[in-house]
Structure 1
């Protein structure tokens, strides 16, 4: 089990690329390494790295490499997101896709070619560097594809799939053989009209990534300290496995955090412990990457209130109680054996409609019938998996996952 953190620089947040200071970064990385974590996820800002469709700034790419090398010197592996894209309620889209140059970022041929060139350039610059884990296509870039985004780039599920395959191939071209992935926010799992689907998440890329945020209605509906809130991340891990073609496909809990006031600061440490304990009981989990490393500087304006206090450390690099919990699990990872195949012998049958687009996946959302049924089974300590209805009678598939009992919701 890997334990890491999404790196949020203390000086300037992700705008630090404009005033790149390796000494500040080294101090941040020292504070992360001191917790016992083993990797970070890093976010170059797309408009700063590729300000023109045919210009990828060499100095920016070199700064990214220097950051990765500094992390490696501290024993921290590095995963890099490419198309940023969307971060903490702000969009970072280059000017050559907006206003007078408005083009669909998923379907316009020139834009897609430029994105592919950019991802290949970043991957190639990092290929062979010590500790480089691979690329993520972008952070929750699926949120640009439909509402509630105020200016969406409409795309069909088929077009979304083609775009993802092209972007993943671009990452592979730059750094062959590494586990490149893509990431979606939970509309992919919970909204039957959303064009990025569970099948995309669970079948494209080297691993499935899940982003677990309990401000999606879970904490509001059930309470910050309810079993359903602490189990939400494990639920997404198990839900994702239902769509995977490979029964042993790895799942990366790539983002999870304790957002106030939905999880009050006084309850953040307990929430972290409940979340990690539940995920440790899921088979095939590659790792947990907490959001985020350091609090956002309150000198920066206009963030949603919950974004300021998500760090494991303060903006002054002081470890918070939630950081103590995550750090303890990281340092004692050998005492927490990862669940093996067959750990969840009972699976709840999910009928979300045709599996490629899953138009009925709304039942999986907080408050939905399937969500409620899974939580009833798991809240009392039950070890519950998920299997799609069309696979519920496939003896070979069930055996490969170690499932011996399937039950209806």
Structure 2
């Protein structure tokens, strides 16, 4: 599956310092990306309906910052993102709207691409749909069967295949939930803890056998389709190798999705799945988490259609630390538009305040757990200083415009 076009990214003299990000599994900040070979990252993609709301955009802009820091350090990056282009929520939306699921998925993926291009998000190296990864999934499930970790549920009509999560010693090491918490969250986020015939309530589906009217593919497991978690496990291992630097996504993916994916991947490869599990915060609107089920969505495409500059939208997101939960209001957009206008006014002048220390501050902030608000504050201070001080530094403006573009992804 094709991704989207890559923005033109200006370059600075490389700063070899590696970024540190918060690891949800260990609870501490960890350096990521150092070592031989490219830095490698997997960020879970969309289920293609109701794309692209600000919650989506918040996640992908956050991990775009990480990729930009790695590039600024002179590192090559291999980045994989999936698309869950066949799954129950997509099929349910297609049925409710009377649109073929394939058509709905294709339209929403294309909309997502245009939103990412507008926000100047660097595309993944590998952009892989669940449908095109089915052979990889089947191969991984077969390996788990050989390891005794996948079984068919005791259901004479639909003996689906399940992963025996509790038999993997590392299971639970990502989210650190007790069993009662895990069961509650599993049921809320796509799991089926109460399904009869499972060996353990926390076991998760890896291959769903065909139901009437549902899409299905022939395989050695029977005609059916992949489960959600195994999709990401298979795609990550196939495109990034047995161990990679960062598994990323929104905090709502911590459990069960990242927990299950990591357990499946580790069970197959017998190595840790990702070195760091990084999670972005949730974006709220009108008093609740922004979500498809609630319908309280602020869509990037609608903001753009109303004439909003995509760089202002990006600044709305960057004004909040990526791990913070926050609520969007119209005031956020007004503040971002005013900030963008001020920044553009400053770089339109022939001279500006010397930029070296400000660029160093931006780099340091982003390397410290992607602290975009601190980076934005540094630019604001430079803009104010440029307005207050009569400077003859003709290179400062060009240097700042380059740094803001390369590091923050904001084209002035």
Same fold by TM-score greater than 0.5: no
Structure 2 length-normalised TM:
0.29
Structure 1 length-normalised TM:
0.29
Q: Relative contact order (alpha carbons < 8 A, sep ≥ 6): 1 or 2 greater? A: 2
Larger Rg: 2
